[in-house]
Amino acid sequence: MPCTHLPLLLLVLVFLFPLSACAKNNKAITIIKGNQTILSLQSIFRLGFFIPSTNGNWYLGIWYASSPKPVYVWVANRNRPVSDPDSSTLELTSTGYLILSNSRDGVVWRTDNKDPATGYRFSDSGNLILTGKNGSPVWQSFQNPTDTWLPGMNVTSRTAFTSWRTPSDPSPGLYSLRLSPSFNEFQLLHNETTPYWSTGNWTGESFLGVPEMTVPYIYSFHFDYPYTPAASFRYIVTPTSDSAPGVGQPRLSRFVVDSNGQLKQWTSEMQNWITFWSQPEDQCRVHALCGQLGFCSSTSKLLTPSACMCIRGFLPKNAAAWESMDYSDGCSREYGDSCDGRDTFEAVGDLRYDGVVQMSRLPQVSKSSCEKSCLGNCSCVGFYHNYKSNLCKMLLEPPMNIKNSSSWTGTTDDVLYIRDQIKKSSKRSVSTSIIILCCVVGSISVLGSTLFVLLILLRKSEKTKKEEEDGFAVLNLKVFSFKELHKATNGFSEKLGHGGFGAVFKGTLHDSSTFVAVKRLERPGSGEGEFRAEVCTIGNIQHVNLVRLRGFCSENLHRLLVYDYMPNGSLSSYLSRTSPKLLSWETRFRIALGTAKGIAYLHEGCRDCIIHCDIKPENILLDSDYNAKVSDFGLAKLVGRDFSRVLATMRGTWGYVAPEWISGLPITTKADVYSFGMTLLELIGGRRNVVSDTPGGEKEEKEPEKWFFPPWAAREIIQGNVDSVVDARLNGEYNSEEATRMATVAIWCIQDNEEIRPAMGTVVKMLEGVVEVTVPPPPKLIQALVSGDSYNGVGNGLSGTSCSEGRGCSDLMTGLSSPGSRSSFGGKPPPSL
Ligand SMILES: *[C@@H]1O[C@H](CO)[C@@H](O)[C@H](O)[C@H]1NC(C)=O
Ligand SMILES: *[C@@H]1O[C@H](CO)[C@@H](O)[C@H](O)[C@H]1NC(C)=O
Ligand SMILES: *[C@@H]1O[C@H](CO)[C@@H](O)[C@H](O)[C@H]1NC(C)=O
Ligand SMILES: *[C@@H]1O[C@H](CO)[C@@H](O)[C@H](O)[C@H]1NC(C)=O
Ligand SMILES: *[C@@H]1O[C@H](CO)[C@@H](O)[C@H](O)[C@H]1NC(C)=O
Ligand SMILES: *[C@@H]1O[C@H](CO)[C@@H](O)[C@H](O)[C@H]1NC(C)=O
């Protein structure tokens, strides 16, 4: 026995000696203790302990120092949280490892570097680096990422990004992103096994399924050694000139595999995070999102926060998890699983699933024998029966990825029947008493609220008898009947105009002194409830430079909006050279400033930011004093959330469309800034940007060909020749300081890179002269449009592939490449008018 101890003792001696020697030379370095944090060099990232939910679990992580709401980009101990930060430390041990320990929980996390580290660095890219003797990295957080892919981070065959379990639980979730085993594409995987989305193969400059990568924008992607095990992919955010007004900090950006399986790219703008891109676009294409027997509906998430539901007769297996947005456990029967020969079947409709499910096919079987076969096998959860072919397909395990067949292409005559448990009598009595209790409580509260409502109504009816005649008021909005509006507009006889969303008619309310403009929405995309919700949002937005919504009508398929009437019409009617009406410089400047204030209010003043999406002179109305009022805000959302309708209507007026529209990328408020810049040019020049003889457009007799004003105007303005751009009909009667400011702001607004464009609030200050306006760089894309070269690549990249979402990209490209619009305007002056 003593003999066996001898080698052990030797071993201990051998190991202890160098260890203690090391400890003498190299003291352990405590990096973080308790609630301390460290900042990267330029204070972009912060490293420290954080607690993502209220369950008492603390983690060591990295987050953006400037974000008001913490956004975590890296977590060290995602598998083993610590119970408190006060007794936790992050230290670089004397042996050269980074360890995270807690006096109670011990060592919960450590690095696995091969060479010992002697120092560390926390870079401004968000990388925590351990350095060895010669200063070279021996371990990097960038090589051990969590769920976030930051600019500058190299993705190799050894890197995987794994989602958080839920938005407030950093432990590893079910979804991950990795380079495929053939090193040529990225894949999103469920449970590390089932791929459900991929980028498509690398083509040399982009992935097949992500052609938008090639759009010349602030991101650039690099793929070194594709198709080999040494493959390494990264992206960087191109630095932009910091001289841009209103843009203080570089744009932050990150890709995240979110806990519900989507890969999302976020960018920050003025302290806000905006989803810039995401895949799969349809959340329901995320594999197993709703678990077994869960049902995914992409449209439902407009009304409820989650896309997941249980099919009829089923409840979430783990209600608490569903509550925290983890649906992976799926659904189970209300009364638990059992196998009873008396079970019944319920038709749940034409639901389909995808993925592999163990199944047994019985050809030429009637529905009742199909049912019988299913009853005889306890693994059978239900069956599909086709009444035409009499094909019976028994499901021997609960299916996942169940969707409504309406979101499916192709139809069959299959109907899904799901096994329904015989309800146990004891359980039924429990549930009955619950139901009774609910009924009692429910009826009491219904009674209470009815009384309350009655009281309010009584008081209201005393106060506003007159209003009652027009219908009842919703907030400050009046609900009109269709009949009323039909009468008010004299049978929709006096048409004021036709906008992107429908025709507008003049109307008179019953007191016959108040004029209104009634907009009849064409092809309204939304249902009644959604329409009302949106209208209430729009109705609550009030600003002197926004047209006021007075009320609405939503009856059967009619959707009408009733606005204040603007006696001086739209700005567009003053912009024709043949128009007899001329706006003075003072009025033009006031319109520019008012419009900017109205849009700025939409962007920054409301509770939810509203992107107008269709700023153009037609949507800028003038009241009796020529004050600008922006109209049609909020409608883009109402008519179609995917903007496809807006895009379609923009085809004719592509001069206002920001480059991001073309790239098919999500749109931010800066798209409005771009359109506003284009509108400013028209206001200064007293002319349209595109002079054409399109049907319905104005005909300019002397114009031999179409001519695109902005590139020429931009060049003149940048060279300081603002005079040549200002409307000649003013005969020089304008404030040249204001004109220079306005013209320069216009060019800032139409910058290709949305980051350089000032925010609308800044535009207001620039116009007011509160913020200095420097000389902008020339916007290149509009030049390219007329010279017709460099932009071709984008067109080719986009045509044919992933613009299938009905976004109308191809429509737009048609508009851009129409032969007339790029005829010949390299540097020519405007044709004489
Ligand atoms: C950090 O902890 C110390 C001691 O526990 C406390 O005095 C101090 O206020 C804390 N600081 C912050 C910023 O919470
Ligand atoms: C990523 O790869 C590039 C090129 O191989 C290299 O220059 C860069 O240092 C790498 N970045 C990191 C963080 O390892
Ligand atoms: C994930 O995969 C493991 C092993 O392949 C399996 O045991 C587990 O049940 C799977 N989890 C889910 C949610 O599919
Ligand atoms: C993608 O690349 C792989 C491996 O090189 C190849 O087998 C596959 O056919 C390619 N797919 C497409 C759609 O080109
Ligand atoms: C259910 O049916 C499948 C396929 O026919 C069979 O493999 C399985 O053993 C059956 N299970 C029972 C419990 O009968
Ligand atoms: C499937 O879609 C149809 C039509 O949109 C709808 O009536 C039905 O209720 C949906 N089914 C489920 C289970 O939601």
CATH of residue 370's domain is 3.50.4.10
Whether residue 784 is predicted with pLDDT greater than 90 in this model: the reply is: no
Same domain membership, residue 299 and residue 263: no
Whether residue 436 is predicted with pLDDT greater than 60 in this model: the reply is: no
For residue 402, which ligand has an atom nearest its CA? 6
Instruction: Pick the last residue of a domain from 516, 546, 564.
Output: 564
Same domain membership, residue 800 and residue 729: yes
Determine the Cα–Cα distance for residues 607 and 625; give it in Å rounded to an integer: 29
Whether residue 21 is predicted with pLDDT greater than 50 in this model: the reply is: no
DSSP H or E segment with residue 588: helix 585-600
Same domain membership, residue 670 and residue 813: yes
State the closest ligand 1 atom to the C-alpha of 36, by its place in the atom list counted from 1.
1
Looking at residue 174, its pLDDT comes to: 95
Question: Which residue minimizes the CA distance to atom 8 of ligand 5?
Answer: 377
Q: How many angstroms does the Cα of residue 641 sit away from the middle of ligand 6?
A: 20
Give domain status of residue 440, yes or no: no
What range does the domain containing 409 cover?
A: 285-420
In this predicted model, what pLDDT tens digit does every residue of 329-349 receive, in sequence order?
A: 999 887 666 677 778 888 877
Same domain membership, residue 302 and residue 393: yes
Which residues sit with their C-beta closer than 6 Å to ligand 6? 349, 404, 406
201, 203, 207, 223, best to mutate for ligand 4 pocket (most atoms within 8 Å of CB): 201
Whether residue 534 is predicted with pLDDT greater than 70 in this model: the reply is: yes
Ordered alpha helix ranges (H), 336-424: 367-375
Determine the Cα–Cα distance for residues 271 and 467; give it in Å rounded to an integer: 44
Which of the following is catalytic: 414, 614, 672, 727?
Answer: 614
CATH number where 592 lies:
1.10.510.10
Taking the CB of residue 173, how many other CB atoms lie within 10 A of it? Answer: 23
Say if CB 326 and CB 165 are below 8 A apart: yes
Q: How many angstroms does the Cα of residue 155 sit away from the middle of ligand 2?
A: 10
What are the structure tokens assigned to 74, written together?
């890296």
Give domain status of residue 456, yes or no: no
Determine the Cα–Cα distance for residues 284 and 322; give it in Å rounded to an integer: 16
In this predicted model, what pLDDT tens digit does every residue of 795-829 receive, in sequence order?
A: 222 222 222 222 222 222 222 222 222 222 222 33
Please give, one letter per residue, the 3-state secondary structure of 297-324: CCCHHHCCCCCEEECCCEEECCHHHHHC
**Percentage above 90 pLDDT, the chain:** 38
Same domain membership, residue 124 and residue 49: yes
CATH number where 232 lies:
2.90.10.10
Looking at residue 792, its pLDDT comes to: 29
Same domain membership, residue 134 and residue 64: yes
Give domain status of residue 20, yes or no: yes
Give domain status of residue 534, yes or no: yes
731 burial via Cβ count (<10 Å: 0-12, 13-18, 19+)? exposed
Taking the CB of residue 535, how many other CB atoms lie within 10 A of it? Answer: 24
Same domain membership, residue 21 and residue 136: yes
Find the mean pLDDT for residues 690-697.
48
Question: Which residue minimizes the CA distance to atom 3 of ligand 3?
Answer: 191
Give domain status of residue 471, yes or no: no
Say if CB 44 and CB 128 are below 8 A apart: no
- Indicate the angle between helix axes 585-600 and 760-768, nearest 10 degrees: 150
343 burial via Cβ count (<10 Å: 0-12, 13-18, 19+)? middle
Ordered alpha helix ranges (H), 634-720: 635-639, 644-650, 659-663, 670-685, 709-718
Give domain status of residue 766, yes or no: yes
Give domain status of residue 451, yes or no: no
Strands (E) located in 475-533:
477-479, 495-499, 502-508, 515-521
Same domain membership, residue 524 and residue 605: no
465 burial via Cβ count (<10 Å: 0-12, 13-18, 19+)? exposed
420 is catalytic: no
- Please work out whether the CB of residue 182 comes within 6 Å of at least one atom of ligand 4: yes
Looking at residue 20, its pLDDT comes to: 33
CATH number where 498 lies:
3.30.200.20
What are the structure tokens assigned to 116, written together?
């010992």
pLDDT band at 90 (very low <50, low <70, confident <90, very high): very high
Q: Count how many Cα atoms sit within 13 Å of the Cα of residue 215 in the half-sphere of its side chain.
A: 19
What are the structure tokens assigned to 435, written together?
């139901």
* Cα–Cα distances in angstroms (integers) from residue 63 to residues 32, 72, 150, 309, 817, in the given order: 15, 4, 12, 33, 44
Amino acid (one-letter) located at 236:
I
Give domain status of residue 430, yes or no: no
Whether residue 677 is predicted with pLDDT greater than 50 in this model: the reply is: yes
State the closest ligand 4 atom to the C-alpha of 184, by its place in the atom list counted from 1.
2
- Chain mean pLDDT for the chain: 76
Instruction: Pick the last residue of a domain from 246, 264, 282.
Output: 282
* DSSP secondary structure letter of residue 215: S
The predicted model scores a pTM of 0.58
519 marked as binding residue: yes
Determine the Cα–Cα distance for residues 605 and 610; give it in Å rounded to an integer: 9
Find the mean pLDDT for residues 529-556.
85
For residue 308, which ligand has an atom nearest its CA? 6
Determine the Cα–Cα distance for residues 46 and 65; give it in Å rounded to an integer: 5
Determine the Cα–Cα distance for residues 327 and 289; give it in Å rounded to an integer: 6
Question: Which residue minimizes the CA distance to atom 4 of ligand 5?
Answer: 360
Which residues sit with their C-beta closer than 6 Å to ligand 5? 360, 377-379, 396
Looking at residue 210, its pLDDT comes to: 79
By 3-state DSSP, what share of the chain in percent is helix, strand and coil, each rounded to 5? 30, 25, 45
Q: How many angstroms does the Cα of residue 404 sit away from the middle of ligand 6?
A: 6
Question: Which residue minimizes the CA distance to atom 12 of ligand 4?
Answer: 201
Same domain membership, residue 665 and residue 783: yes
Looking at residue 280, its pLDDT comes to: 86
Whether residue 128 is predicted with pLDDT greater than 80 in this model: the reply is: yes
Same domain membership, residue 625 and residue 494: no
Same domain membership, residue 729 and residue 717: yes
The tally of domains found in the chain comes to: 4
Amino acid (one-letter) located at 455:
L
Instruction: Pick the last residue of a domain from 227, 247, 282.
Output: 282
Same domain membership, residue 645 and residue 622: yes
Question: Which residue minimizes the CA distance to atom 9 of ligand 3?
Answer: 191
